[in-house]
Every structure is written in C-alpha cells, then in structure tokens.
Amino acid sequence: MAGDVQNDAMKIAVFGAGSIGVYIGASLLAAGADVVLVGRPRMGRQIASQGVLLSDLEGRRQHLEGEHVPYQESAAALAEADLILVTVKSADSAAAASAIAEHAKPSALIVSLQNGVGNVDTLRGLMPGWQVLAAMVPFNVVQMEGNRFHRASGGELMIETCAALEPWLAFFRQAHLPLQQCEDFAAIQWGKLLLNLNNAVNALSGLALKSQLSQRAYRRCLALLIAEALDVLRTAGIRPARIAKVGPQLLPVILRLPDVLFKRIAATMLKIDPEARSSMWQDLQAGRLTEVDYLNGAIVRLAESLARDAPANRRVTTLIHAAEQGNLQLWSGAALYRALSD
C-alpha cells in the first residue's frame, strides 16, 4: 500500500492476528509500513476473501483488499521482522515466546500489546536474548460483519520509554496510532487492569459497553471489583497509574453515583461507540477461552500471595469460567451485584 512513510526495508510482524492485531497491523500497512500478519487459518481465509475494512468512532472507513494484506499462518514469517508486535491472548504468551525465539532474529525488537500484568515477564523469561517492551492498548476493537474491524473507543498506545523505538515512531504516527512513551510501566499496567475488570461485568450483562456503563446497577458491580482490587494493591504496595480521566482511587466513588450525576460528571467515560463490546464478550460469543484469569484472576492471585482474599473478583472469575463451558447466564445489574457481594 502506498503511504507517506518510507519503510527503508524495516519489517513489522504482528504475531496474533485477532481484532487488535489486525486493526493495528492493517493501519500500519495502510500507512506504508512493510507488515505481515501472523495468525490462525480462519482469519487468513476471511482476509483473503473479504480484505480488511478499518473503521472508528470518528468516522474512518478504509478498505484494504485481501491481496494487499500479507498474511501467514506459520511463525516462520517472523524471521525477517525487525519489530514484532505480540497480540496473542495472555494464555498463549509462553507458546508465542518459544515461537519467536525459534524463528526471529535476536536484533528484533519485541513489543507486547497484551492485556494483563505478567505477559512481559513471561516473554522476557523465555527470550533472554531479545529486547522486550511492554505496551498498553487503551481502546477496544470489535470485529464486525464484512471483516470490518471497528475501533470503538479512544486513547493512545502507551509503551515503555526506549531509545530503540525511535526508528518506528513515524510509522505509528502516520497510522494514527502515536506511541506515548512512559516510565514506570508496571503502574500503567495495573491501572489498565483496574479498567479491564469491567470486561467480565460487560460479558455477563450481554449489553454494549455504553449501555452497560450507563446503568448504575452494573456500575456498582464494577465499583465493587475495583475497590476490592485497590485494597489488594494497597496491601501489596502497588500504586496504579491514572489511565482514565479519573484517578484510580476515585473510580469506585464516581461509578456508584446515580445515573443523572454520573452522566454529568463522568461524561468522558461514556464517550464510547454504541457498538463497542468487551473482548471478553467477543470471546464468549466465539466459544473461546477468555482472559479472565489474567484480569480479575490476577487480583485473586495477588490477594492469595498476601494471605488475603478477593471474594468479588474470585466470584466473577468463577461465573466467567462457567460461561466458557457453555453456561452463559446473562445477569441484571442487581442480580450480579448480589452474586458478587454475597
């Protein structure tokens, strides 16, 4: 694809071509970068037959023909990459690290664009010869009919500060995905994880994110989960970074406000496309295992390591596990709150 950025033979591989991976990879490709997507056969077939349609809540609509979207099923495609963006599910991090270590050149820069707080440690532990950076994706992407990948919320990509990123910054700017470099990335990951505790609530509600967050009964569920997580993090000496417009400590207070006040005070939290859904909802609809063990489950494990309990996060994790086994029950906000707080 033609673009304003000259790639100078710098090659990018996106390892894990799901919704986020395809959106980011195709956006870079459309901006002129040399990109290959590496993923499962089903996605490859969809791209070959329908191409990729990129859209967002600002009105973007950009179609890439399938023949212009390089796609490979084998990790051998990583061999020539200078930058590898890891977008596999958290449960697949160890397998991804092994595949990268087998095929990628040691000079390749590895960037984890995954949910959760432990993926970078997994990658670094299994890939001691590579430079691995943590990054955070603040927006969600929904795969829709017609192989449309719709960015349904806002925010900029955040990444660990590193001089090795300099050659790549222009590519991401041109793709309208500017990289915001940050120090103390562990705090950012914990801050994002607090927001991701809503993924389970959204999946169990069966509603679009905007509709779910507009209802106080569901927000009370999220407030319960976040308040519990903050207590565990405080005990562990972890200070999560501010990711949303509201600081972490104020989130439970604001989420519990009546609908009229919430919509007035926290209007930016509802600046979400009406079509947006959580990735956990998408996983359940597709019959895939979710990342609940790496989100709410991470709070449960941290609590256990401190000889504490995190009952609300433990209960919602159990409910999602049941849904993964085909027992998906859609909950009203009031019923879910009772289930989490009993």
Residue pointed to by tokens 């990018």: 12
Percent of the chain whose pLDDT exceeds 90: 87
Domains contained in the chain, CATH given: 11-183 (3.40.50.720), 188-341 (1.10.1040.10)
Residue 235 and residue 306 in contact, taking contact as beta carbons nearer than 8 Å: yes
Question: What is the predicted pLDDT for the residue at 8?
Answer: 58
Alpha helices in 51-184, H assignment, sequence order = 93-103, 119-126, 169-174
Residue 15 CA to residue 86 CA, distance in Å, equals: 5
Residue 144 CA to residue 115 CA, distance in Å, equals: 21
The terminus-to-terminus CA distance of the chain in angstroms comes to 56
Mean pLDDT of 213-220: 98
Question: What is the predicted pLDDT for the residue at 220?
Answer: 99
Other CB atoms within 10 A of residue 342 CB: 8
HEC string of 158-223 equals EEECCHHHHHHHHHHHHCCCCEEEECCHHHHHHHHHHHHCHHHHHHHHCCCHHHHHCCHHHHHHHH
Mean pLDDT of 93-113: 97
Q: Are strands 148-151 and 52-56 parallel, antiparallel or unpaired?
A: parallel
Other CB atoms within 10 A of residue 127 CB: 19
CA distances from 55 to 24, 32, 36, 49, 334 (A): 12, 18, 20, 18, 35
CA torsion 75-81-84-89 (nearest 10°) is -10
Mean pLDDT of 215-243: 98
CA distances from 328 to 209, 218, 273 (A): 18, 17, 25
SS3 content of the chain, % helix, strand, coil (to 5): 50, 15, 35
Residue 337 CA to residue 220 CA, distance in Å, equals: 7
**Digit-coded pLDDT (tens) for 128-178:** 999 999 999 999 898 999 999 999 888 899 999 999 999 999 999 999 999
Tokens coding 125: 């532990």
Q: Write the DSSP string, 23-38.
A: HHHHHHHHTT-EEEEE
**Digit-coded pLDDT (tens) for 254-312:** 999 999 999 999 888 888 888 788 999 999 998 999 999 999 999 999 999 999 999 99
Which pTM was predicted? 0.92
Q: 297-306 burial, b for 16+ CB within 10 Å, e for fewer?
A: bbbbbbbeee
Mean pLDDT of the chain: 94
Reported confidence tier of residue 2, pLDDT bands at 50, 70, 90: very low
Residue 4 and residue 31 in contact, taking contact as beta carbons nearer than 8 Å: yes
Helical (H) or strand (E) element with 279: helix 279-285
